[in-house]
Structure 1
């Protein structure tokens, strides 16, 4: 994969563990930081699917997770899901 890929992060609204709806964009902060640190251009796109995060490279979904599984805020360096997502983007075709 080219070093500077266009990565679309599709994310839906989040529902907390207690069931209350909330904006999940704060949980994407670390994921976005990790991808941008690798030189990728990141675009956020809202979708209607609850608690969903999908990374799309070249029109293909290369990574998918529950938004609640991402660490809240931070730089993403210690979040194992962010590292998994980073590797998925690097291995995308």
Structure 2
């Protein structure tokens, strides 16, 4: 994958601590930081699918997970899902 690739980070609504179902980007901060550290341009896009996170590179979904499985806040360096996502984007064509 070339440096400075455009990555679309799609995310759906989820319920946190029994609060209403909403789109929240707090759990995406670490993932976004890891991708931007690699030199990629990240665009956030809200989708209607509950609890989903998808990374899209060149129109292809290269990584997906449950948004609740991502660590809350932080830089993403200690989150194993962020490392999986980084590798998936690097392998994308």
> What is the TM-score normalised by the length of structure 2?
0.93
Rounded Cα–Cα distance in structure 1 between residues aligned with 2:53 and 2:23 = 13
- In structure 1, the gaps of 5 or more residues are none
- In structure 2, the gaps of 5 or more residues are none
Does residue 47 (structure 1) correspond to residue 28 (structure 2)? The answer is no
Rounded Cα–Cα distance in structure 2 between residues aligned with 1:41 and 1:19 = 31
**Which has a greater percent of strand?**
1
Q: Aligned residue for 1:75?
A: 75
Q: Deviations over 1:45-71 (max 9, x none)?
A: 000001000000000000000000000
Give the SS at the match of 1:30.
Answer: helix
CA contact (8 A) 1:34 1:77 kept: yes
Q: Aligned residue for 2:90?
A: 90
Cα-Cα RMSD: 1.4
Q: How many residues align?
A: 93
Q: Deviations over 1:7-38 (max 9, x none)?
A: 00000011237575244310000000000000
> What is the TM-score normalised by the length of structure 1?
0.93
